[in-house]
Structure 1
Amino acid sequence: MARKTSKKTDNPSPDAMPARVDPCLATLVDKPPKGPDWAYEVKWDGYRLAVHIKTGRVRVLTRGGYGWTERFPTIADDARRLAVKTAILDGEAVVLDDLGRSDFGMLQRALGRLPSAVEAGAIVFYAFDLLYLDGRDLRRLALRERRRLLEPLVAGREGTIRLSEEVQADGDEFFRVACAHGLEGIIAKHVEKPYRTGRGEWWQKITCKRRDSFVIVGFEPSTVPGHLGRLLLAARKGDDLVYVGGCGTGWSHELSRELRNLLEGISTKTPAVSLRRKNAVFTKPVLVAEVEYRAWTDDGKLRHASFKGIRQREDEASVFDMASLRL
């Protein structure tokens, strides 16, 4: 009698869990899109992260693909408590101020880059998408369906991992309210679209002010001994860096001294850009400044720039690319 060698099953084979997913990025637009297919969220001011959970093991990756699990231990610890076997959460790590607004400078201090009373436990991870869950790749599903699966996992939690709430509202009014409350801006997402790597029109960001990241290539000392006068900044242009001006505001008296000490520790005799400035101290291009500004000059320099915080350049995806600038 022949022995059965196979058994018919209705259960599909599980999807392989990707080791990394290049993130979906929002396109900057002037006004929120309109229509019932759009949902809105607060634009968080922090670090974009992907949290990978696999049978109790957690990895925290930056949007550039770097492993920062050890820098976000509270996120990793809380991820192990979620009721999942395998999952990939997409979201933003932030620190909230007294008014509930995300503050990038406070996040930097919580991560220990600069001296601070802000503790690492103050970091919150706002999850806004679910890319993989218990053997199923969700990226092909519409955002509406991905959110339906995400919400039961993280909604209502008071731990480190929380839900980034969607707002069903008039986009123009939500944007006005967000700016009035001092938020960075809002994100609009098309609820019927799948998750697509890269920058596209299905996710849009509307910011209250222009804000980007630039490589710190040097500084000018202040007339006050031991303090910072001006940061010298650069953007990407192809494979090179190009000088885009500087900023001399945005820091307190205490932070000015801390930044000066930090930058003196990475000073170099070899400038990363073609630039001659009297009294300039050049630095290795390893740190990135978050800068808020109003506009660009005709010759490609920042106007009315103000310092907001520091990133490490290893997350290269965030550095401003001059190819995106239309002068």
Structure 2
Amino acid sequence: MSRTSTLPRRLQPMLATLTDAPFDDPDWVFEDKYDGFRMIAEIRRGKVALYSRNGKIISHSYIEVAKALEGVKGDAVIDGELVAIGNDGVSHFQLLQNALRHEAKLVYCAFDLMFENAVDLRQQPLLERKKRLKAILPRDKLIAFSPHRKEHGTKFFAEAERKGLEGLIAKRADSAYTSGGRTSDWLKIKTAKRQEVVIVGFTAPRRSRPFFGALVLAVREDETWRYIGHVGTGFSHRVLEDLHARLGKLRVSKSPFSAKVKDEAVTTWVKPSLVAEVKFAEWTSKGELRQPVYLGLRSDKPAKDVVRERERPRK
């Protein structure tokens, strides 16, 4: 396992495919879908390197988590999700930025094991990998093993909705680990609609709100940027201020769109580099977000990879 500033292909995370409904199947297991961001942990000779989903080394930002993972038994490459837990006991994406300021509880939820003591486990069945993972994790308040339950996805999904969770991840119990691949062996089932978006502009502030009125949003489509709407809710005063400062450094003179969009006369365009996440009611017939709410910035995915996520029926 070579340690570099970017993640080698064989260590890249396996991705889940969005599906349209929960289901029951004895050949599948179900895990809670955590509302955080993906993090690969590489432990070698007691030293820990942490990587984001897009392969950037982020150990320096989460020193306490890295320190806790030094307690892993032997060498390992672990897949998991870094989450911030709120007072309700549920992970919330919005709290992650607060956690960096020590205002929320951070936990690394480990759910898969790719390598153990230089042995490649990726072709082993999922449940065997999880059994090995549970055995090597240290007892630490910053580290959690992600449990799974069998077969009854419909029941577990209803429980996730009641608890206010983001959803479930369904996994074929005997599935291999496909590094860097998105397969139908892992499915995500969301309790609410969410979408990663790229910020391409902001409008002038209105009435009593400072800094800006709304963000202009886009996704990548056929090597161009597609307009998908504006988001003007979900911002605290601190978020408005922080975002405005970041966007001010990214100003550009031209719109990224070939056609006009609403409020262009009061829009400041920015370089399409900041990725955010929103929740929303539905997609309109024009392909725009209805009633979007801003949740926060994502640093774990490059803007060029942000496309509209479409639900697929399970085969």
TM bracket, shorter-chain basis:
0.7 to 0.9
Q: Tell me which residue corresponds to 2:142.
A: 160
Q: Are 2:182 and 1:208 aligned?
A: no
C-alpha displacement of 1:254 = 4.4
Whether the 8 Å CA contact 1:218–1:233 is kept in 2: the answer is yes
The structure 2 residue matched to 1:118, chosen from 103, 106, 116, is 103
Give distance in 2, aligned partners of 1:173 and 1:51: 32
**AA aligned opposite 1:293:** F
C-alpha displacement of 1:36 = 1.7
Q: Tell me which residue corresponds to 2:161.
A: 179
Gaps of 5+ in 2: none
Whether the 8 Å CA contact 2:114–2:129 is kept in 1: the answer is yes
Give distance in 2, aligned partners of 1:308 and 1:29: 22
1:240-251 pair list within 5 angstroms: 240-251=224-235
RMSD of aligned C-alpha atoms? 2.5
Q: Tell me which residue corresponds to 2:306.
A: 320
Give distance in 2, aligned partners of 1:226 and 1:262: 15
Where relative contact order (Cα < 8 A, 6+ residues apart) is larger, the structure is 2
C-alpha displacement of 1:322 = 4.1
**AA aligned opposite 2:254:** T
Give distance in 1, aligned partners of 2:223 and 2:113: 34
Instruction: Give the match's secondary structure for 1:66.
Output: coil
Instruction: Give the match's secondary structure for 1:228.
Output: coil
Q: Tell me which residue corresponds to 1:271.
A: 255
Q: Are 2:72 and 1:82 aligned?
A: yes
Whether the 8 Å CA contact 1:213–1:318 is kept in 2: the answer is no
Whether the 8 Å CA contact 2:31–2:169 is kept in 1: the answer is yes
**AA aligned opposite 2:301:** D
The structure 2 residue matched to 1:217, chosen from 190, 194, 200, is 200
Identify if the C-alpha distance between structure 1 residues 68 and 117 changes in structure 2 by more than 3 Å, giving closer, same or farther. closer
Whether the 8 Å CA contact 1:216–1:287 is kept in 2: the answer is yes
Give distance in 1, aligned partners of 2:8 and 2:228: 36
Q: Percent identity?
A: 34
Give distance in 1, aligned partners of 2:2 and 2:122: 12
Q: Are 2:297 and 1:310 aligned?
A: yes
**AA aligned opposite 2:296:** G
1:91-130 pair list within 5 angstroms: 91-111=80-100, 118=103, 122-130=105-113
C-alpha displacement of 1:30 = 1.8
C-alpha displacement of 1:166 = 1.1
Whether the 8 Å CA contact 2:82–2:106 is kept in 1: the answer is yes
Please give the TM-score of this superposition, normalised by the length of structure 1.
Answer: 0.85
Give distance in 1, aligned partners of 2:46 and 2:26: 39
Q: Tell me which residue corresponds to 2:280.
A: 293
Whether the 8 Å CA contact 1:218–1:281 is kept in 2: the answer is yes
